[in-house]
Amino acid sequence: MGFLKNILNGDDPDVMGSGDNVADEFYTTSTEEMLEECSGGKMILIEPKAFSEVQAIADSLRQRSTVVVNLKRVTSDQAKRIIDFLSGTIYALNGNIQKIGGGIFLCTPNNVNIQGKITDEDEGKDIHDNKDLDVEW
């Protein structure tokens, strides 16, 4: 009966009505629990044309979607602002951001584990440009 009394009075910190945000509770769960709950996540590919599109990218990350951002259609100043904004979003979500190519970034929320690393264009001796490679699906 004491448990029910605590719930009704709002004294139990595990009850959603005690002021905690549901999203905050989701971020405090273990990675394994999140992977089980979000196994059907989406991957979104986006090429923003202006800084004003960055909020939509952040909203997708908040909804647990992985986002690949291609910054080749914006100026270098806009690209820096977008990466700064996304870095803050990723930090707040406890996610990850990685450069996977020239102006292309992989942004993931904390329910996605990334394994491996893409080497920088300047690293390694046997790097080929492959710009002439054209694949159509």
pLDDT in tens, 79-113: 999 999 999 999 999 999 999 988 999 999 998 88
**pLDDT higher at 57 or 22:** 57
Q: Evaluate whether residue 14 is within a structural domain.
A: yes
24 and 56 housed in the same domain:
no
50 and 106 housed in the same domain:
yes
46 and 30 housed in the same domain:
no
For Cα atoms 112, 127, 98, give the angle at the middle one, nearest 5 degrees: 20
Predicted TM-score (pTM) of the model is: 0.61
73 and 11 housed in the same domain:
no
4-16 pLDDT tens trace: 454 455 554 554 4
Q: How many structural domains is the chain composed of?
A: 2
Residue with tokens 């300047």: 122
26 and 70 housed in the same domain:
no
Given this model, what pLDDT does residue 15 score?
47
Boundaries of domain holding 4: 1-37
Number of helices and strands in the chain (H, E):
5, 4
43-58 pLDDT tens trace: 999 999 999 999 999 9
Q: Evaluate whether residue 126 is within a structural domain.
A: no
User: Which tokens is 25 given?
Assistant: 């509770």
What 3-state class would DSSP assign to 54? helix
